[in-house]
Amino acid sequence: MKVFFLIKTETGKMEEVCERLEKLKEITSTCMTYGRWDVVAEGEFKNLDAINRFLEKDMIKVTGINRSNTLIEAQ
């Protein structure tokens, strides 16, 4: 299942957050954006449990993230 993470970073940390996220095996792409969110990351996961594990064990360790919103592909 495809998941999109909308991320607000600490000031000046957009590129660093992208680089750190791209090192995680579940993340397939990242891009820096203008607007409410600083970074959009795309990932592939087997199920909801895998998403929860990723958020609780991997993404939480990425420094420079202030907050995020998770969007799960509908189909």
pLDDT tens sequence across 17-56:
999 999 999 999 999 999 999 999 999 999 999 999 999 9
Q: Which SS3 state, helix, strand or coil, does residue 73 take? A: coil
Where exactly are the structural domains of the chain? 2-64
Average pLDDT estimate for 8-21: 98
Looking at the domain 2-64, which fold is it? Alpha-Beta Plaits (3.30.70)
Q: How wide is the angle at C-alpha 75 spanned by C-alphas 44 and 30, nearest 5°?
A: 35
- From the CB of residue 75, how many other CB atoms can be counted at a distance below 10 Å? 4
CA distances from 35 to 32, 39, 57, 69 (A): 10, 10, 28, 14
Distance CA 18, CA 37 (A): 13
Q: Give me Rg for the CA atoms of the chain.
A: 11
